[in-house]
A and B are shown apart, each in its own frame.
Chain A
Amino acid sequence: MTIAIAYPMKPPPPLHLKRLLRSPRLIVGELAALAGAGACGALLPELHIFLNPWFGALTLLIAVSLAIVVGDQLRVLLRSGATTRRVGAAMLHAGLLLAIMAGALRALFATEAVVDLVEGETLPATAAAWSGQFPGLLARPFQLQQPLTLQAVHGRRYPDGSLQKLSAQLSAGELAVNRDLSLAGGRLFLASDFGAAALVEWRPGKREAALLDSHSREATSIGPHALRAHLRALRDRPESVEVRVMRGAGLLYSGVLHPGETIGFAGGEALTLHALPLWARLRGSRDNSFWPVCAGFALILAGSILLFVKFPLARAPSAMMPTLQPAGSLPFLLMAIVCVSSGCSSREKAAQLVTRYNEVVSEAYRRGDVRLIDPVVGPNEGKKLAGLIGVRLDFGLTLDSQMLALEVIDIDRAKNEMRVRTRERWRYCDRRIGSGERSGEESTDSYEMLYVFKKSGKAWLVDEIQFAAPPKVGRQTTTWVADRAALRDVAGRSRP
């Protein structure tokens, strides 16, 4: 006979999840983790930390901790009565919780969109009409309830050329930088980007609006048969544009084009400029989390005033006090300082500067456009380059060059000057303006160069370039043959 004895079952240990989530250690850890994530996200934007699921999980964990803390604080307030400190702490934490929840609402349901409109253009009331959509995870794309026409753009600049005022007249009302427009479907904002739009037509092919950049006032329009036109305006609302048409590395046309004018090319193609209206960039936004976040900010502010300004900070009761190694909780600070101070090495920086300089100058030779070199050269080297490019244009030629290899040999850096010695290999050929054909033989050359960079504001500009050793040049002759017709057509228009 078997006697079964029933022992009382020992209940499983209660899961103290709530206690864990409101424990000071976890809360301090959460704050440190969020600060560390913020620092890493700001230092290394390419990691897209703020879009990572674990960043969302961390924020959720903080929100849950905060909700428990706020619940506890409200319970204490109701049970034990209100004191300024208790009210302050509850307001501060409730405000934080509200701000985080508003942020979550924004991440899930807010939508932003962007579109560039040309004067006279009508934006249809569809989501597809917007060129860029940035919806939240569960948000509908942005769209307005009614079509919208951009009637006029008004820009005003200071005497130094920087933007002073920008406004746009829309069919639904006026919009300006810092003055939004509320419409059915969302709010509209005007960005500071605007400029001339060259309405061009390529034959055979297409019509397009080439939007000239608001700072450089330049744009490129791609045409048929590998043609491309580089356009430049000299003012915000221009009456004409400078045009350089290229096929591959050959310059086919350089001149000024007014609305209504057409340029024809040897292959039967043609480019017509129809008009030069202005364009402006509109942003659309639909976000219902703004007022909740404002309420959150107000609570945080009021709470922190009550907590930190009205009363000096007290310690928590000793029963709540675990030990802490303060130095251990702030390693991210040191990490941030180390990351920032390390930066990139001088050699990489020198190679970047030399590469950028050569890319810009090569393109200036190719297009026969000396204005392109302004961002990379100082006045000394600028004059020299302008002369060299101009001489080639006089002979009806452009230079097509390609850097094949670059090695930085030596860097000598002073406060505002950097001397960089390089070893370089290049391939060159001259091309005739008008046809783009190669003129003369191609050459592969090797050089040892010395670049003298001087700092101007934040930029390093090339002040002087010398050969550090005699060059090894591949070709033996050069074709400085002037095509007089091309010279008459081009030189007078293109030289600065």
Chain B
Amino acid sequence: MNEFALETTLHWAGVAFYIAGVALFAHALIFAHPRRVRWGLWATLAGLLPHAAALVVRYVAVGHGPYMMKYEVLSSNAWIAIAMLLLFVWRRPVWAPLALLALPASILMVGFGLFTNPEARSLPPALRSLWLVFHVLFNKLAVGAFLLSAASALVLLRKSRGATGRMLDRLPGPGVLEAYTLRFVGFGFVFWTTTIGAGAIWANQAWGRYWGWDPIESWSLVTWLCYALLLHARLFFRMSARGVAWGALLCFTVSILTVLIFPFVFPSLHAAYFQ
């Protein structure tokens, strides 16, 4: 079996376990078997292993980390998001319904990545920097945290409308959901700040300037400002829980546009790395 066939098989094995994880989470929550949430966790964890192995095989094959093509970027983003989800639900099983939103979104990310061009691309000399590792790693952590905040915001919107159900009833009330939405936003904000800082230091090392209003640099600042706006609005104004949820969803949209859409749309120093 060649390397590409191996990593594709490992990827699909991961996806199969994730799908099983979603089914087990749904079973545990719909049929009110809270102890079986652990089954879903184990199945998802079992998916993380072949998924991680696929990323390692890719790393060995192309000689660089997962930051050059949609295929690599989406797969590694999904891995980080799922790992963060597992970590959180492991510690707070009451939040298991979050998995029913975040896990399918991550599966879609992996699936979409698998259908894009998997051709390996060599790493340009400008990308051979330790700061790139920090820049990319914290960016993925930020996306994972923002994904969880968006999932939490969606549940919050449902609950604040008075929706009930076996799954929804198991989740905390709107007040706690709002606090956790903001907590995820806070984590993402810190990671995003680190992403921008590491990118600026690396740009200074490679190009002699730490900020150049490159379109993706500008959008990363816009994303940071959007989240800062949400946090300030929540802090200073009588913003309702629904307002916070909508704000978190809008900010998440901007962050996804910045990370996954705009690099394909605008000519930018960052564009070449994802295509």
User: Which residues of chain A have a CB within 8 Å of any CB of chain B?
Assistant: 24, 27-28, 31-32, 34-35, 38-39, 41-42, 45, 50, 103, 106, 110, 112, 158, 160, 162-166, 176-178, 180, 187, 189, 191-192, 283-285, 287, 290, 293-294, 297-298, 300-301, 304-305, 307-309, 312-316, 320-324, 326-327, 329-330, 333, 336-337, 340, 457-458
Contact = CB atoms under 8 A, between A and B. Distances in A.
Most buried by A among B124, B185, B221: B124
27 contacts: A24-B237, A28-B233, A31-B229, A35-B226, A41-B213, A42-B216, A112-B208, A163-B125, A164-B123, A189-B207, A283-B208, A290-B210, A293-B210, A293-B211, A297-B193, A301-B194, A305-B190, A308-B185, A308-B189, A321-B236, A321-B238, A322-B236, A322-B238, A324-B239, A326-B237, A327-B246, A458-B275
Contacts of B210: 290, 293
Contacts of B190: 301, 304-305, 308-309
Contact of B222 (A27, A38, A163, A323): A38
B236 A163 contact: no
Contacts of B124: 162-163, 192
Interface stretch (B84-92, B164-172, B196-204): B196-204
Nearest to B121: A162
B209 interface: yes
Contacts of A300: 193, 197
Contacts of B33: none
Interface string B233-275: 1111111000100110010011001000110011000000001
Interface of B: 117, 121-126, 128-129, 179, 182-183, 185-187, 189-190, 193-194, 196-197, 200-201, 204-211, 213, 215-216, 218-219, 221-222, 225-226, 228-229, 231-239, 243, 246-247, 250, 253-254, 257, 261-262, 265-266, 275
A308 B247 contact: no
Nearest to A114: B208
Given A178-B206, A304-B193, A326-B239, A27 B231 contact: no
B201 A294 contact: yes
B231 A326 contact: no
Given A323-B238, A326-B246, A42 B219 contact: yes
Contact of A42 (B117, B200, B204, B215): B215
Contacts of A297: 193, 196-197, 200-201
A39 to B, nearest CB: 5
Given A45-B215, A322-B238, 11 more contacts: A32-B229, A38-B225, A42-B266, A177-B128, A293-B211, A297-B193, A297-B196, A301-B193, A304-B186, A313-B231, A316-B235
Contacts of B225: 31, 34-35, 38
Nearest to A38: B222
Nearest to B267: A45
Which 4 A-B pairs have CB atoms at the shortest separation, nearest pair first? A308-B186, A285-B208, A324-B237, A24-B236
A83 to B, nearest CB: 16
Contacts of B197: 297-298, 300-301
B202 to A, nearest CB: 9
Nearest to B217: A42
A45 B219 CA distance: 12
A430 to B, nearest CB: 39
Nearest to B246: A326
Contact of B187 (A38, A309, A316): A309
Contacts of B262: 42, 340
A103 B210 CA distance: 10
Contacts of B229: 28, 31-32, 35, 329-330
Contacts of A287: 208-209
Contacts of B186: 304, 307-309, 312-313
A187 B209 CA distance: 11
Contacts of B194: 301
B232 A28 contact: yes
Given A42-B218, A166-B125, A177 B233 contact: no
Contacts of B201: 294, 297
Contacts of A106: 211
Contacts of B200: 293, 297
A177 B129 CA distance: 10
